[in-house]
Protein backbone atom coordinates (compact mmCIF):
# COMPACT_ATOMS: atom_id res chain seq x y z
CA UNK A 1 0.00 0.00 0.00
CA UNK A 2 2.85 2.38 0.93
CA UNK A 3 4.65 1.42 -2.27
CA UNK A 4 1.48 2.18 -4.29
CA UNK A 5 1.12 5.59 -2.60
CA UNK A 6 4.75 6.48 -3.30
CA UNK A 7 4.32 5.40 -6.94
CA UNK A 8 1.20 7.55 -7.28
CA UNK A 9 3.01 10.56 -5.71
CA UNK A 10 5.99 10.10 -8.07
CA UNK A 11 3.60 9.97 -11.03
CA UNK A 12 2.13 13.33 -10.02
CA UNK A 13 5.63 14.74 -9.50
CA UNK A 14 6.58 13.69 -13.03
CA UNK A 15 3.52 15.52 -14.36
CA UNK A 16 4.51 18.64 -12.42
CA UNK A 17 8.10 18.47 -13.67
CA UNK A 18 6.87 18.05 -17.26
CA UNK A 19 4.49 20.99 -16.82
CA UNK A 20 7.32 23.16 -15.49
CA UNK A 21 9.62 22.20 -18.35
CA UNK A 22 6.99 22.95 -21.01
CA UNK A 23 6.12 26.35 -19.53
CA UNK A 24 9.53 27.42 -18.27
CA UNK A 25 9.63 30.76 -20.15
CA UNK A 26 6.10 31.66 -19.12
CA UNK A 27 6.80 30.90 -15.46
CA UNK A 28 10.02 32.93 -15.46
CA UNK A 29 8.22 35.91 -17.07
CA UNK A 30 5.41 35.67 -14.51
CA UNK A 31 7.92 35.51 -11.66
CA UNK A 32 9.80 38.57 -12.92
CA UNK A 33 6.58 40.51 -13.41
CA UNK A 34 5.40 39.72 -9.88
CA UNK A 35 8.82 40.55 -8.44
CA UNK A 36 9.07 43.82 -10.32
CA UNK A 37 5.56 44.86 -9.30
CA UNK A 38 6.35 43.99 -5.67
CA UNK A 39 9.61 45.97 -5.67
CA UNK A 40 8.02 49.02 -7.25
CA UNK A 41 4.98 48.87 -5.00
CA UNK A 42 7.27 48.86 -1.95
CA UNK A 43 8.43 52.35 -2.93
CA UNK A 44 4.84 53.69 -2.95
CA UNK A 45 3.27 55.49 -0.05
CA UNK A 46 -0.41 55.18 0.74
CA UNK A 47 -0.91 58.75 -0.51
CA UNK A 48 0.06 58.00 -4.15
CA UNK A 49 3.09 57.86 -6.42
CA UNK A 50 6.62 58.33 -5.14
CA UNK A 51 9.74 59.48 -6.94
CA UNK A 52 12.24 56.93 -8.23
CA UNK A 53 15.70 57.23 -9.72
CA UNK A 54 16.38 56.56 -13.39
CA UNK A 55 18.59 53.58 -14.27
CA UNK A 56 21.55 54.07 -16.56
CA UNK A 57 25.30 54.55 -16.76
CA UNK A 58 26.98 57.95 -16.47
CA UNK A 59 30.59 56.87 -16.88
CA UNK A 60 33.48 59.28 -16.38
CA UNK A 61 32.88 63.02 -15.83
CA UNK A 62 32.35 64.90 -19.11
CA UNK A 63 33.20 61.90 -21.32
CA UNK A 64 30.44 59.61 -20.04
CA UNK A 65 29.13 57.62 -23.01
CA UNK A 66 29.92 60.30 -25.59
CA UNK A 67 32.29 58.07 -27.54
CA UNK A 68 29.67 55.31 -27.78
CA UNK A 69 27.12 57.88 -28.98
CA UNK A 70 29.50 59.25 -31.63
CA UNK A 71 30.32 55.68 -32.68
CA UNK A 72 26.61 54.97 -33.25
CA UNK A 73 26.26 58.24 -35.18
CA UNK A 74 29.17 57.15 -37.37
CA UNK A 75 27.59 53.75 -38.16
CA UNK A 76 25.09 52.59 -40.77
CA UNK A 77 22.53 51.98 -38.00
CA UNK A 78 22.31 55.66 -37.04
CA UNK A 79 22.60 57.49 -33.72
CA UNK A 80 19.30 56.05 -32.43
CA UNK A 81 21.03 52.68 -32.16
CA UNK A 82 22.71 54.17 -29.07
CA UNK A 83 19.24 54.65 -27.55
CA UNK A 84 18.02 51.19 -28.56
CA UNK A 85 20.99 49.46 -26.91
CA UNK A 86 20.45 51.27 -23.60
CA UNK A 87 16.73 50.53 -23.64
CA UNK A 88 17.55 46.84 -23.97
CA UNK A 89 19.73 47.12 -20.84
CA UNK A 90 17.77 49.49 -18.59
CA UNK A 91 14.18 49.63 -19.90
CA UNK A 92 12.27 52.47 -21.54
CA UNK A 93 13.51 55.10 -19.10
CA UNK A 94 17.26 55.53 -18.84
CA UNK A 95 19.90 58.17 -18.23
CA UNK A 96 23.36 58.67 -19.71
CA UNK A 97 26.09 61.31 -19.88
CA UNK A 98 26.80 62.96 -23.25
CA UNK A 99 29.19 65.85 -23.93
CA UNK A 100 29.50 66.50 -20.21
CA UNK A 101 25.73 66.65 -19.51
CA UNK A 102 23.40 64.09 -17.95
CA UNK A 103 20.58 63.13 -20.34
CA UNK A 104 17.33 61.37 -19.42
CA UNK A 105 15.31 59.85 -22.29
CA UNK A 106 11.57 60.34 -21.77
CA UNK A 107 9.52 57.64 -23.58
CA UNK A 108 5.90 58.34 -22.54
CA UNK A 109 3.02 60.65 -23.45
CA UNK A 110 2.69 61.57 -19.77
CA UNK A 111 6.31 62.72 -19.68
CA UNK A 112 5.94 64.57 -22.99
CA UNK A 113 2.89 66.42 -21.67
CA UNK A 114 4.69 67.51 -18.49
CA UNK A 115 7.71 68.86 -20.38
CA UNK A 116 5.98 70.47 -23.37
CA UNK A 117 3.37 72.23 -21.24
CA UNK A 118 6.04 73.57 -18.88
CA UNK A 119 8.43 74.94 -21.51
CA UNK A 120 10.09 78.11 -20.14
CA UNK A 121 8.74 77.62 -16.61
CA UNK A 122 10.54 74.35 -15.73
CA UNK A 123 12.41 73.61 -18.97
CA UNK A 124 14.28 75.35 -21.78
CA UNK A 125 15.67 74.14 -25.12
CA UNK A 126 18.75 72.03 -24.47
CA UNK A 127 20.83 71.25 -27.55
CA UNK A 128 24.26 69.68 -27.32
CA UNK A 129 27.05 72.25 -27.69
CA UNK A 130 27.97 71.37 -31.26
CA UNK A 131 24.38 71.85 -32.44
CA UNK A 132 23.95 75.15 -30.59
CA UNK A 133 27.27 76.43 -31.96
CA UNK A 134 26.23 75.59 -35.52
CA UNK A 135 22.88 77.42 -35.53
CA UNK A 136 24.24 80.35 -33.50
CA UNK A 137 23.44 82.07 -30.18
CA UNK A 138 20.65 84.21 -31.66
CA UNK A 139 18.85 81.31 -33.32
CA UNK A 140 15.28 80.63 -32.27
CA UNK A 141 16.55 77.20 -31.20
CA UNK A 142 19.07 78.65 -28.73
CA UNK A 143 17.72 81.89 -27.26
CA UNK A 144 16.28 82.08 -23.73
CA UNK A 145 12.62 82.62 -22.93
CA UNK A 146 12.73 86.41 -22.85
CA UNK A 147 13.95 86.57 -26.48
CA UNK A 148 12.14 83.55 -27.88
CA UNK A 149 8.61 84.96 -27.94
CA UNK A 150 9.67 88.17 -29.72
CA UNK A 151 11.86 86.41 -32.31
CA UNK A 152 9.24 83.75 -33.03
CA UNK A 153 6.56 86.40 -33.58
CA UNK A 154 8.77 88.39 -35.96
CA UNK A 155 9.79 85.25 -37.90
CA UNK A 156 6.20 84.14 -38.47
CA UNK A 157 5.50 86.04 -41.71
CA UNK A 158 6.88 83.41 -44.18
CA UNK A 159 4.61 80.82 -42.56
CA UNK A 160 1.35 82.80 -42.71
CA UNK A 161 -1.45 81.53 -44.96
CA UNK A 162 -0.90 84.16 -47.71
CA UNK A 163 2.83 83.35 -47.80
CA UNK A 164 2.11 79.60 -47.89
CA UNK A 165 -0.31 80.10 -50.79
CA UNK A 166 2.43 81.88 -52.78
CA UNK A 167 4.97 79.23 -51.79
CA UNK A 168 2.73 76.37 -53.00
CA UNK A 169 2.50 77.91 -56.50
CA UNK A 170 6.25 78.52 -56.82
CA UNK A 171 7.26 75.15 -55.38
CA UNK A 172 4.77 73.26 -57.58
CA UNK A 173 6.08 74.96 -60.74
CA UNK A 174 9.68 74.18 -59.85
CA UNK A 175 8.94 70.59 -58.82
CA UNK A 176 6.78 69.63 -61.82
CA UNK A 177 9.42 70.92 -64.27
CA UNK A 178 12.24 68.98 -62.63
CA UNK A 179 10.28 65.74 -62.30
CA UNK A 180 9.21 65.93 -65.96
CA UNK A 181 12.83 66.38 -67.02
CA UNK A 182 13.92 63.34 -64.99
CA UNK A 183 11.12 61.20 -66.45
CA UNK A 184 12.02 62.22 -70.01
CA UNK A 185 15.66 61.30 -69.46
CA UNK A 186 14.67 57.94 -67.97
CA UNK A 187 17.66 57.94 -65.64
CA UNK A 188 17.73 56.65 -62.08
CA UNK A 189 18.08 59.44 -59.50
CA UNK A 190 18.39 59.62 -55.74
CA UNK A 191 15.24 60.98 -54.12
CA UNK A 192 17.20 62.32 -51.13
CA UNK A 193 19.65 64.26 -53.30
CA UNK A 194 16.80 65.54 -55.48
CA UNK A 195 14.62 66.62 -52.54
CA UNK A 196 17.54 68.22 -50.68
CA UNK A 197 18.23 70.46 -53.67
CA UNK A 198 14.53 71.14 -54.30
CA UNK A 199 13.77 72.22 -50.74
CA UNK A 200 17.00 74.21 -50.46
CA UNK A 201 16.34 76.16 -53.66
CA UNK A 202 12.74 76.82 -52.62
CA UNK A 203 13.73 78.08 -49.14
CA UNK A 204 16.48 80.35 -50.51
CA UNK A 205 14.10 81.80 -53.09
CA UNK A 206 11.39 82.50 -50.52
CA UNK A 207 13.67 83.87 -47.81
CA UNK A 208 16.33 85.77 -49.79
CA UNK A 209 15.37 85.68 -53.51
CA UNK A 210 18.57 83.75 -54.29
CA UNK A 211 18.01 81.88 -57.56
CA UNK A 212 21.40 81.95 -59.32
CA UNK A 213 22.54 78.33 -59.70
CA UNK A 214 26.23 78.81 -58.85
CA UNK A 215 25.46 80.90 -55.77
CA UNK A 216 22.85 78.41 -54.58
CA UNK A 217 25.31 75.53 -54.81
CA UNK A 218 28.01 77.47 -52.93
CA UNK A 219 25.64 78.33 -50.08
CA UNK A 220 24.26 74.78 -50.04
CA UNK A 221 27.77 73.31 -49.75
CA UNK A 222 28.46 75.43 -46.65
CA UNK A 223 25.03 74.73 -45.14
CA UNK A 224 25.63 71.00 -45.60
CA UNK A 225 28.96 71.27 -43.73
CA UNK A 226 27.18 73.12 -40.90
CA UNK A 227 24.47 70.45 -40.74
CA UNK A 228 27.02 67.62 -40.67
CA UNK A 229 28.81 69.24 -37.71
CA UNK A 230 25.71 69.32 -35.52
CA UNK A 231 26.48 66.00 -33.82
CA UNK A 232 30.25 66.13 -33.51
CA UNK A 233 32.87 66.58 -30.81
CA UNK A 234 32.95 70.37 -30.25
CA UNK A 235 36.72 70.83 -30.52
CA UNK A 236 38.34 73.09 -33.13
CA UNK A 237 40.76 70.57 -34.61
CA UNK A 238 41.61 71.44 -38.25
CA UNK A 239 40.01 68.91 -40.59
CA UNK A 240 37.41 67.68 -38.10
CA UNK A 241 33.66 67.86 -38.85
CA UNK A 242 33.16 70.47 -36.14
CA UNK A 243 35.99 72.64 -37.48
CA UNK A 244 34.69 72.43 -41.05
CA UNK A 245 31.15 73.22 -39.88
CA UNK A 246 32.13 76.29 -37.86
CA UNK A 247 34.29 77.62 -40.71
CA UNK A 248 31.40 77.06 -43.14
CA UNK A 249 29.07 78.90 -40.75
CA UNK A 250 31.46 81.88 -40.77
CA UNK A 251 31.37 81.99 -44.58
CA UNK A 252 27.55 81.83 -44.61
CA UNK A 253 27.38 84.69 -42.10
CA UNK A 254 29.69 86.77 -44.31
CA UNK A 255 27.40 86.18 -47.30
CA UNK A 256 24.30 87.13 -45.33
CA UNK A 257 26.01 90.24 -43.99
CA UNK A 258 26.94 91.26 -47.56
CA UNK A 259 23.32 90.79 -48.70
CA UNK A 260 22.06 92.96 -45.84
CA UNK A 261 24.62 95.68 -46.60
CA UNK A 262 23.73 95.78 -50.32
CA UNK A 263 20.02 96.00 -49.56
CA UNK A 264 20.45 98.75 -47.01
CA UNK A 265 22.56 100.76 -49.49
CA UNK A 266 19.86 100.38 -52.16
CA UNK A 267 22.00 98.29 -54.53
CA UNK A 268 19.52 95.39 -54.23
CA UNK A 269 15.84 95.14 -53.35
CA UNK A 270 13.47 92.17 -53.45
CA UNK A 271 10.06 91.21 -52.15
CA UNK A 272 11.00 88.47 -49.69
CA UNK A 273 11.44 87.65 -46.02
CA UNK A 274 14.84 89.37 -45.69
CA UNK A 275 13.52 92.60 -47.20
CA UNK A 276 10.54 92.57 -44.84
CA UNK A 277 12.93 92.29 -41.89
CA UNK A 278 15.13 95.17 -43.08
CA UNK A 279 12.07 97.37 -43.69
CA UNK A 280 11.68 97.51 -39.91
CA UNK A 281 15.00 99.29 -39.25
CA UNK A 282 13.20 102.35 -37.85
CA UNK A 283 10.88 100.32 -35.61
CA UNK A 284 11.30 100.02 -31.81
CA UNK A 285 13.64 97.24 -30.68
CA UNK A 286 10.66 95.09 -29.62
CA UNK A 287 9.34 95.10 -33.20
CA UNK A 288 12.48 94.29 -35.19
CA UNK A 289 15.33 91.81 -35.32
CA UNK A 290 18.99 92.67 -34.90
CA UNK A 291 21.28 91.73 -37.79
CA UNK A 292 22.74 88.82 -35.80
CA UNK A 293 19.21 87.54 -35.09
CA UNK A 294 18.28 87.81 -38.78
CA UNK A 295 21.39 85.96 -39.95
CA UNK A 296 21.32 83.16 -37.34
CA UNK A 297 17.66 82.52 -38.05
CA UNK A 298 18.07 82.60 -41.81
CA UNK A 299 20.62 79.80 -41.41
CA UNK A 300 18.33 77.95 -38.98
CA UNK A 301 15.29 78.17 -41.26
CA UNK A 302 17.24 77.01 -44.30
CA UNK A 303 18.88 74.03 -42.59
CA UNK A 304 15.78 72.98 -40.64
CA UNK A 305 13.49 73.41 -43.64
CA UNK A 306 15.80 71.56 -45.99
CA UNK A 307 17.10 68.61 -44.00
CA UNK A 308 13.93 67.47 -42.24
CA UNK A 309 11.49 67.98 -45.12
CA UNK A 310 13.84 66.42 -47.69
CA UNK A 311 14.34 63.36 -45.48
CA UNK A 312 10.56 62.99 -45.05
CA UNK A 313 10.09 63.20 -48.84
CA UNK A 314 12.61 60.41 -49.27
CA UNK A 315 10.94 58.21 -46.63
CA UNK A 316 7.49 58.78 -48.16
CA UNK A 317 8.73 57.21 -51.41
CA UNK A 318 10.23 54.28 -49.51
CA UNK A 319 7.08 53.64 -47.44
CA UNK A 320 4.69 53.99 -50.39
CA UNK A 321 6.84 51.59 -52.38
CA UNK A 322 6.46 49.06 -49.55
CA UNK A 323 2.67 49.50 -49.37
CA UNK A 324 1.15 49.43 -52.86
CA UNK A 325 -2.43 49.65 -51.54
CA UNK A 326 -1.63 52.99 -49.89
CA UNK A 327 0.20 54.12 -53.04
CA UNK A 328 -2.79 53.25 -55.25
CA UNK A 329 -5.28 54.98 -52.96
CA UNK A 330 -3.10 58.10 -52.84
CA UNK A 331 -2.71 58.09 -56.63
CA UNK A 332 -6.47 57.87 -57.16
CA UNK A 333 -7.07 60.87 -54.91
CA UNK A 334 -4.45 62.92 -56.75
CA UNK A 335 -5.76 61.90 -60.19
CA UNK A 336 -9.25 63.03 -59.15
CA UNK A 337 -7.78 66.52 -58.61
CA UNK A 338 -5.82 66.39 -61.88
CA UNK A 339 -8.93 65.48 -63.95
CA UNK A 340 -10.55 68.78 -62.99
CA UNK A 341 -7.55 70.82 -64.16
CA UNK A 342 -6.13 72.09 -67.43
CA UNK A 343 -3.00 70.37 -68.80
CA UNK A 344 -0.61 73.05 -67.55
CA UNK A 345 -2.27 73.60 -64.18
CA UNK A 346 -0.54 74.78 -61.01
CA UNK A 347 -1.64 73.62 -57.56
CA UNK A 348 -3.28 76.02 -55.13
CA UNK A 349 -3.56 75.97 -51.35
CA UNK A 350 -7.23 75.02 -51.82
CA UNK A 351 -6.14 71.92 -53.74
CA UNK A 352 -3.80 70.99 -50.90
CA UNK A 353 -6.61 71.33 -48.37
CA UNK A 354 -8.73 68.86 -50.37
CA UNK A 355 -6.14 66.05 -50.11
CA UNK A 356 -7.58 64.23 -47.09
CA UNK A 357 -5.80 60.91 -47.76
CA UNK A 358 -2.64 62.76 -48.79
CA UNK A 359 -2.56 64.39 -45.37
CA UNK A 360 -2.86 60.97 -43.72
CA UNK A 361 0.08 59.73 -45.82
CA UNK A 362 2.10 62.74 -44.65
CA UNK A 363 1.23 62.06 -41.01
CA UNK A 364 2.09 58.38 -41.25
CA UNK A 365 5.36 59.21 -42.99
CA UNK A 366 6.28 61.62 -40.21
CA UNK A 367 5.29 59.09 -37.53
CA UNK A 368 7.42 56.32 -38.99
CA UNK A 369 10.41 58.31 -40.27
CA UNK A 370 10.98 60.35 -37.09
CA UNK A 371 13.17 62.90 -38.83
CA UNK A 372 13.38 64.54 -35.40
CA UNK A 373 14.31 61.59 -33.20
CA UNK A 374 13.78 63.38 -29.89
CA UNK A 375 13.15 66.89 -28.54
CA UNK A 376 15.84 68.10 -26.12
CA UNK A 377 15.12 70.26 -23.09
CA UNK A 378 17.16 71.25 -20.03
CA UNK A 379 15.69 71.41 -16.51
CA UNK A 380 15.77 74.93 -15.02
CA UNK A 381 15.21 73.58 -11.48
CA UNK A 382 14.87 70.28 -9.65
CA UNK A 383 11.57 68.70 -10.68
CA UNK A 384 9.81 65.41 -11.47
CA UNK A 385 8.40 63.97 -14.69
CA UNK A 386 5.37 61.68 -14.69
CA UNK A 387 5.40 58.15 -16.08
CA UNK A 388 3.87 54.69 -15.93
CA UNK A 389 5.14 51.33 -14.69
CA UNK A 390 2.69 48.43 -14.99
CA UNK A 391 -0.62 49.79 -13.62
CA UNK A 392 1.14 52.19 -11.24
CA UNK A 393 2.04 55.87 -11.47
CA UNK A 394 5.49 57.15 -10.59
CA UNK A 395 7.59 60.28 -10.86
CA UNK A 396 11.09 60.44 -12.26
CA UNK A 397 13.42 62.76 -10.38
CA UNK A 398 15.16 65.34 -12.60
CA UNK A 399 17.95 67.55 -11.25
CA UNK A 400 18.57 71.16 -12.27
CA UNK A 401 20.82 71.26 -15.34
CA UNK A 402 19.93 67.74 -16.52
CA UNK A 403 18.81 67.34 -20.12
CA UNK A 404 15.51 65.59 -20.78
CA UNK A 405 14.94 64.23 -24.29
CA UNK A 406 11.30 63.70 -25.25
CA UNK A 407 11.71 60.52 -27.25
CA UNK A 408 9.32 60.96 -30.21
CA UNK A 409 10.64 57.77 -31.83
CA UNK A 410 9.78 55.60 -28.84
CA UNK A 411 6.33 57.20 -28.50
CA UNK A 412 5.55 56.85 -32.23
CA UNK A 413 6.55 53.18 -32.16
CA UNK A 414 4.68 52.30 -28.96
CA UNK A 415 2.35 49.33 -29.74
CA UNK A 416 -0.01 50.50 -26.99
CA UNK A 417 -0.53 53.76 -28.89
CA UNK A 418 -0.28 52.41 -32.44
CA UNK A 419 -1.34 48.93 -33.49
CA UNK A 420 1.39 47.29 -35.59
CA UNK A 421 3.58 50.40 -35.33
CA UNK A 422 6.12 49.16 -37.90
CA UNK A 423 3.39 48.81 -40.55
CA UNK A 424 2.88 51.83 -42.84
CA UNK A 425 -0.84 52.46 -42.51
CA UNK A 426 -2.09 56.01 -43.26
CA UNK A 427 -5.67 54.96 -42.49
CA UNK A 428 -4.83 54.80 -38.78
CA UNK A 429 -5.17 58.59 -38.80
CA UNK A 430 -8.86 58.32 -39.57
CA UNK A 431 -9.18 57.89 -35.80
CA UNK A 432 -8.40 60.49 -33.15
CA UNK A 433 -4.96 60.01 -31.62
CA UNK A 434 -4.20 60.20 -27.92
CA UNK A 435 -2.78 63.53 -26.76
CA UNK A 436 1.01 63.75 -27.19
CA UNK A 437 1.13 60.45 -29.09
CA UNK A 438 1.88 62.23 -32.41
CA UNK A 439 4.61 64.82 -31.96
CA UNK A 440 6.73 65.11 -35.14
CA UNK A 441 6.76 68.90 -34.72
CA UNK A 442 6.95 69.00 -30.94
CA UNK A 443 4.23 70.76 -28.96
CA UNK A 444 3.63 73.75 -26.73
CA UNK A 445 5.19 77.22 -27.15
CA UNK A 446 8.15 75.79 -29.07
CA UNK A 447 6.10 73.88 -31.67
CA UNK A 448 7.99 73.89 -34.98
CA UNK A 449 7.43 77.24 -36.68
CA UNK A 450 7.60 75.64 -40.15
CA UNK A 451 5.08 72.87 -39.41
CA UNK A 452 2.52 73.94 -42.02
CA UNK A 453 5.15 74.66 -44.66
CA UNK A 454 6.61 71.17 -44.19
CA UNK A 455 3.16 69.61 -44.61
CA UNK A 456 2.26 71.53 -47.78
CA UNK A 457 5.71 70.84 -49.27
CA UNK A 458 5.24 67.11 -48.74
CA UNK A 459 1.71 67.19 -50.15
CA UNK A 460 2.78 69.04 -53.31
CA UNK A 461 5.55 66.45 -53.74
CA UNK A 462 3.18 63.51 -53.24
CA UNK A 463 0.65 64.99 -55.65
CA UNK A 464 3.17 65.42 -58.46
CA UNK A 465 4.89 62.09 -57.83
CA UNK A 466 1.92 59.75 -57.28
CA UNK A 467 -0.45 61.67 -59.55
CA UNK A 468 1.96 61.85 -62.48
CA UNK A 469 4.24 58.83 -62.28
CA UNK A 470 4.89 55.29 -61.21
CA UNK A 471 8.36 54.39 -60.02
CA UNK A 472 10.67 51.50 -59.32
CA UNK A 473 13.18 51.51 -56.47
CA UNK A 474 16.67 50.71 -57.71
CA UNK A 475 18.31 49.93 -54.35
CA UNK A 476 16.58 48.29 -51.37
CA UNK A 477 19.50 48.72 -48.92
CA UNK A 478 18.08 49.89 -45.56
CA UNK A 479 21.41 51.04 -44.10
CA UNK A 480 21.36 54.58 -42.75
CA UNK A 481 23.63 57.44 -43.73
CA UNK A 482 26.60 57.98 -41.44
CA UNK A 483 27.21 61.14 -39.38
CA UNK A 484 23.67 62.46 -39.74
CA UNK A 485 21.46 63.71 -36.90
CA UNK A 486 18.47 62.86 -39.12
CA UNK A 487 17.77 59.24 -40.20
CA UNK A 488 18.31 59.00 -43.97
CA UNK A 489 18.94 56.03 -46.24
CA UNK A 490 22.60 55.66 -47.22
CA UNK A 491 21.49 54.82 -50.76
CA UNK A 492 19.51 58.06 -51.00
CA UNK A 493 16.53 55.98 -52.22
CA UNK A 494 17.30 55.82 -55.97
CA UNK A 495 14.25 55.45 -58.24
CA UNK A 496 13.36 55.49 -61.93
CA UNK A 497 10.19 57.32 -63.00
CA UNK A 498 7.66 56.33 -65.64
CA UNK A 499 5.00 58.84 -66.59
CA UNK A 500 1.39 57.65 -66.28
Annotated binding-site residues for heme read 448
As a whole number of angstroms, the distance between CA 35 and CA 37 comes to 5
Instruction: Report how far residue 102's alpha carbon sits from residue 106's, in angstroms, rounded to the nearest whole number.
Output: 13
CA angle 444, 275, 211 (to 5 degrees): 95
Amino acid sequence: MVVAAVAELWKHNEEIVTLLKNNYDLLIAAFLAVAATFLVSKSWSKGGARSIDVPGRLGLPFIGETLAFLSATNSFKGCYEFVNLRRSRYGKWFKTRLFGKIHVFVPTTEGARKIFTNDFSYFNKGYVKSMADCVGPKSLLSVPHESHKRIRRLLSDPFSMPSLATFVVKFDQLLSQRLARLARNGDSFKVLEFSMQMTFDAMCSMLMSVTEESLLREIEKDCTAVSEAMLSLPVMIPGSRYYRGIKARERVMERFSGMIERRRSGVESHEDFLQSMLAKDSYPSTEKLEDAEIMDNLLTLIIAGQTTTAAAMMWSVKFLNDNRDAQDRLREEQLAITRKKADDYVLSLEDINSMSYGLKVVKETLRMSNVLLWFPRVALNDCTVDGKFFPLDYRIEIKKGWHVNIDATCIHYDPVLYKDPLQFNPSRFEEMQKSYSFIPFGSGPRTCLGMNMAKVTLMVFLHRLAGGYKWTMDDLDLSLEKKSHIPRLRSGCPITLKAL
